[in-house]
Structure 1
């Protein structure tokens, strides 16, 4: 919040402000050979993901020297939550704005396919008229420790897609889900194909960096994470102390044994944290699972099988910007907070810190919900700040006959005036008597408010539609007490609004003032 509200850099954690366009002037230090190699990778993957001509043109622009606005996310079931679209739309818009200003940029979506937290990726939530439905993919036992992106979808995906068909509108999006999410398909490829299809007209480039080629391109960062583990660990510890001194906290816990890498086990495929033995990297000893590895053994793995070394949440953006000509990264609130820690890694490993910009954050308001907001004189903030039952009471209070409202208002004002005068008088007579008067006055005010609630509830009973309206608007705009963007699957809105939705989000992502907004559809 502090970062998003500051027009000056929130030093020392962030070298730039979200209000600055200085990132557009970034001069990439990516070697020309590396630029051509990553362009080759992107070109090959764009064909695999079925990307269109616009993405190919953007890859060619990157090959010729354009920089990148990058965003990313863990690969999740059926396209994941709504903020997936917001991230991509923001990267597209920022790249467009920079290019229009004479600084060529292209948008890239980084698939965080190496993440092993299957519990965050194996489900998606869609609403029906009266409730939420969470579709969950049951994966084989033992798959939970492997990188999610490489997992193959089993026969259970057919059940999930069938359930989705009962909740989503028929059309191109549902057809794409049926085409991409098939038994035997990998998590990351299905996700990448869907994202490429949704933003085909905008030329979004999608990258899965889990390959040997990408890890070889970022080998120097992985090497430093091994050979400079002590220095980097100490820098993170000092940064954590500084965060606490400024009243903040660390997003990623750094312990004495913490390292910056995971190791993919050669036999099981498990993604295991690579820990510093005894908290001492100077010993050159690391441990993953039950096995110990010397520094030289890890460097040999890096040389021969670099894809087996996987960066953790703090190192991932540094690794990313070692292989891409990144000018700015588009992140959500938690990711931006990560950067306050990662900044020390950036400076020591790359000699610079990539600016991070807030993604579009919004609640999409469909016409039916907009009509209810207008009819009952509600704002989005009312829906977010009140529980559905409280919202219903407010609707009941507003629906009361004008005469009832006048009598309650007049009585309330009269009671307040009388109580203020009486408690002041009692207090002037005796301090103890004054305290007793305040307690009694509080009880009277409570009873007056109770009378207001009873009147509102009576109106609710007379007009049953008010309760339905409160529940409906809460489900649509603040489902299950969560921001809509974090809970509802993107595919639900895409199935209803089609290709018009991505372009609308790109338009709204031009926001100059970070914050949550209401977008009326």
Structure 2
């Protein structure tokens, strides 16, 4: 495995500026981890602010049964015991549960989590444990119900788990149909490359799906299988026992709701003043909290609460509470409450001694809206550790790139241009030049001819102009057909070129946002993950090419 740094611009301008010009956006954040003093200063603040967080012992007691069920490894138990100690800190990252772990970026986020915890522990000479936050309370099924594997030509194929349901139930409360999962597993297996590791991985995936009531449970078991040996603690944000612990924080969010709203609005204004668009919805009447509602029509409907005339309600009018009624409901049914993207960072900070949080570029952008909200609850925004980014380049792709003389940037930035240029260099017919000359000669002969027809009948030039467009369209059609014939002659070469693009930038997107991790686990086994975890951590989240 050869590792080569290769700049890959962030897909969010604000995140790009955070990574490469922090001073210009420092007013939106707190500290940057590349500053040598950041972790020491943050650790000191965490030590003196223990009173602001949920009791450690109660938190670990809540996390232990969940991890025994889905992530039962000796290293995890050690991490949990360390978390009981007052001097232990955490690095936290999270993601929605995804089908068969989802895209590669999920794996890279956990890799960043582990490497970041190791680096921080070595620098501070105290325990730092990795915690992965599964966002099981999220309700967007279409975001988590699919993944992609390459077919034999390298083209990414979508594998989708359909579900017959309406509404917006949290993923962790959405039961999966085991009759349907058999077909999904069969399609996944058909696309997974044949290797010595394939049957073992498929057997495990079937087992995890059979043992799981919902996609979040299966996701947790898969992450536990891959990362439990590294001591990664897992939690589901929709865990009912965890929700009981969170009651005091939700109470603060309700009682301080107006102040929190003003903090989000002020931050959004600051983001706009710096020339950026806010990456999460900030509304003056939003409570930034969800309520899980059930009645004779809806089951576990996750509805966003708004403030109207001193009441908490939703857009559909399904529920309406006074502030006191909402607080009473919180005490009686904490499992009915849920964070949104702007309050989840506050909940994370209230639960754990967060030395750093691992964020992708989109998350970095919307976290800019939370800085002042932390202060409302007497908290402090944690330093952000950008998720590390990789592109895997297999040996066969390397050979093809060498054959065509392509760099990674050629594929990323100008592949269509390169493809067209290559094809034009292969054919000996010079079709573009010949058809261009045909059009020139046609115009040269036809235009004077049209003008001369006016002497015969003034209406004829108009008819001739219409005829001209038809002839030009036929010439264009012939040009296209001729080009397609040439392309067919060079079909093998074009397929090889396309295979490079399919592998490195499927659908014109970074590989890590599309391809499923089991493609590489299937081909290379766990050695692939071990090699990733042996790489020097990049605290700026830089992109690197991995030559396999």
TM-score by length of structure 2 reads 0.79
Residues 319 and 106 of structure 1, relative CA distance in 2, 3 Å threshold: same
Determine if the alignment matches structure 1 residue 226 to structure 2 residue 241: no
Structure 1 runs not aligned, ≥5 long: 409-455
Residues 175 and 391 of structure 1, relative CA distance in 2, 3 Å threshold: farther
Q: Deviations over 1:50-102 (max 9, x none)?
A: 43111111111111231111100011111111100000000000001112221
Task: Check conservation: 1:460, 1:466, Cα contact below 8 A.
Answer: no
Match of residue 105, structure 1, among 119, 128, 135:
128
Task: Check conservation: 2:262, 2:284, Cα contact below 8 A.
Answer: no
Match of residue 401, structure 2, among 373, 397, 402:
373
Match of residue 68, structure 1, among 90, 93, 100:
90
Aligned pairs for 1:368-407 within 5 A: 368-387=396-415, 389-396=416-423
The alignment's C-alpha RMSD in Å is 2.6
> For residue 507 of structure 1, what is the aligned residue in structure 2?
534
> For residue 209 of structure 2, what is the aligned residue in structure 1?
181
Match of residue 508, structure 2, among 476, 481, 486:
481
Match of residue 151, structure 1, among 174, 179, 198:
174
| Secondary structure of residue in 2 paired with 1:10 | helix
Task: Check conservation: 1:236, 1:341, Cα contact below 8 A.
Answer: yes
| Secondary structure of residue in 2 paired with 1:364 | strand
Determine if the alignment matches structure 1 residue 19 to structure 2 residue 42: no
In structure 2, C-alpha distance between the alignment counterparts of 1:21 and 1:129, rounded to whole Å: 47
In structure 1, C-alpha distance between the alignment counterparts of 2:313 and 2:528, rounded to whole Å: 48
Displacement after TM superposition at 1:509 (Å): 6.1
Residues 7 and 138 of structure 1, relative CA distance in 2, 3 Å threshold: closer
> For residue 122 of structure 1, what is the aligned residue in structure 2?
145
Task: Check conservation: 1:125, 1:487, Cα contact below 8 A.
Answer: yes
> For residue 300 of structure 1, what is the aligned residue in structure 2?
328
In structure 1, C-alpha distance between the alignment counterparts of 2:270 and 2:363, rounded to whole Å: 19
Task: Check conservation: 2:102, 2:517, Cα contact below 8 A.
Answer: yes
Residues 7 and 292 of structure 1, relative CA distance in 2, 3 Å threshold: closer
Match of residue 93, structure 1, among 92, 112, 115:
115
> For residue 163 of structure 1, what is the aligned residue in structure 2?
187
Q: Deviations over 1:1-24 (max 9, x none)?
A: 000002547321011124224453
Q: Deviations over 1:32-51 (max 9, x none)?
A: 97111111222211110143
For these two proteins, the number of residue pairs brought into alignment is 466
Determine if the alignment matches structure 1 residue 217 to structure 2 residue 272: no
Determine if the alignment matches structure 1 residue 269 to structure 2 residue 296: no
Task: Check conservation: 1:9, 1:16, Cα contact below 8 A.
Answer: no
In structure 2, C-alpha distance between the alignment counterparts of 1:300 and 1:250, rounded to whole Å: 34
In structure 1, C-alpha distance between the alignment counterparts of 2:77 and 2:212, rounded to whole Å: 27
Over 6 Å off, 4+ runs: 397-401, 456-462
Q: Deviations over 1:206-228 (max 9, x none)?
A: 11132233223222331222112
| Secondary structure of residue in 1 paired with 2:495 | helix
Task: Check conservation: 1:364, 1:520, Cα contact below 8 A.
Answer: yes
Determine if the alignment matches structure 1 residue 52 to structure 2 residue 73: yes
In structure 1, C-alpha distance between the alignment counterparts of 2:134 and 2:61, rounded to whole Å: 17
| Secondary structure of residue in 2 paired with 1:496 | helix
Residues 17 and 200 of structure 1, relative CA distance in 2, 3 Å threshold: same
Residues 200 and 24 of structure 1, relative CA distance in 2, 3 Å threshold: same
In structure 2, C-alpha distance between the alignment counterparts of 1:7 and 1:234, rounded to whole Å: 25
Residues 33 and 147 of structure 1, relative CA distance in 2, 3 Å threshold: closer
Task: Check conservation: 1:45, 1:207, Cα contact below 8 A.
Answer: yes
Displacement after TM superposition at 1:252 (Å): 0.9
> For residue 311 of structure 1, what is the aligned residue in structure 2?
339
Residues 460 and 145 of structure 1, relative CA distance in 2, 3 Å threshold: closer
In structure 2, C-alpha distance between the alignment counterparts of 1:258 and 1:40, rounded to whole Å: 34
In structure 2, C-alpha distance between the alignment counterparts of 1:88 and 1:472, rounded to whole Å: 28
Q: Deviations over 1:90-127 (max 9, x none)?
A: 00000011122213201111000000011101111111
> For residue 413 of structure 1, what is the aligned residue in structure 2?
none
> For residue 453 of structure 1, what is the aligned residue in structure 2?
none
